[in-house]
Amino acid sequence: MDSSQNTNQKRVTVIEKIMGANNRLAAENQSILDDAQIFSLNIMASPGAGKTSLIERTIRNLAGQFSIAVIDGDIATSIDADRAATAGAVAVQINTGGECHLDATMLYQGLSQLEISEFDLLIVENVGNLVCPAAFQLGCHKSVLVASIPEGDDKPYKYPAMYHGVDALVINKVDLLPYVSFNMEYFSRGVEILNPGVQTFPLSCRTGEGIDPWLEWISANIREHKKLP
Ligand SMILES: Nc1nc2c(ncn2[C@@H]2O[C@H](COP(=O)(O)OP(=O)(O)OP(=O)(O)O)[C@@H](O)[C@H]2O)c(=O)[nH]1
Ligand SMILES: [Mg+2]
């Protein structure tokens, strides 16, 4: 074996150890959330797709019925956590200090700043990009990808790991469809190849069009986790 092979092998072993440790802590996070009977979402998307806008809409619509906490992952600012707090949630900011994703340790630290048994819903906003967040489990019950019309219809083909791994897909900014060249049939074919039958919510955070099925899906999940009828 030459020395470069040896180095590569060590690198693979280190990466496996890091991912293994992350996955173990993610499982621990999930059991903390299960014990608290709180339904949790990991929201991922490219920068500017509308994660925070969707969180704001969700809070404004559901805060009358459910108590909501938000853990906001951002490289450097608290802008998004401030928006979630203004909308009516209890919000915790996690600055990743340059990291392009949240990991299970960061979520664990965020959870420790909340009395989570007081909440019905936890929304985690991951750092905006379509690559790194897909690789790190956090321990949330469902992962959601927010795609948006101006990003282009080829994104499922270019970022397959992200599209493959999520439990639900929001297609945001449908109000822009008349103005942007976006072939929904081509986009949906790519999604279907990677994630057949994935629950999909086309909507506009700007106009509110299509928001009701999204809110109903969340409400049903909250009731299930609270063991409510
Ligand atoms: N036209 C239109 N604009 C939208 C919609 N939803 C969000 N936006 C706009 O898109 C921009 C980005 O929205 P954000 O919610 O901040 O996006 P984000 O994904 O949280 O961005 P990062 O956290 O920076 O990655 C803002 O200017 C929003 O007003 C929508 O449905 N339609
Ligand atoms: Mg945001």
pLDDT in tens, 124-142: 999 999 999 999 999 999 9
**Is the predicted pLDDT of residue 3 greater than 70, yes or no?**
no
Q: What is the pLDDT of residue 109?
A: 96
* 24-60 confidence digits (pLDDT tens): 999 999 999 999 999 999 999 999 999 999 999 999 9
Distance between Cα 42 and ligand 1 center (Å): 17
Burial class (CB in 10 A: 0-12, 13-18, 19+), 96: middle
Q: What is the pLDDT of residue 218?
A: 98
Ligand 1 pocket: which of 205, 211, 214 to mutate (most atoms <8 Å of CB)?
A: 205
Ligand 1 atom at shortest distance from the alpha carbon of 55? 15
**Is the predicted pLDDT of residue 147 greater than 90, yes or no?**
yes
Q: What is the pLDDT of residue 12?
A: 63
| Alpha-carbon distances of 53 from 56, 98, 135, 169, 208, rounded to whole Å | 5, 23, 24, 15, 11
- At residue 5 the predicted structure's pLDDT band, cuts being 50, 70 and 90, is low
What does DSSP assign to residue 97? T
Q: Of 122 and 2, which is predicted with more confidence?
A: 122
Average pLDDT, the chain: 93
Residue nearest to atom 14 of ligand 1 (CA): 50
Percentage with pLDDT > 70 across the chain? 93
| Ligand 1 lining (C-beta closer than 6 Å) | 45, 47-53, 80, 128, 172-173, 175-176, 204-206
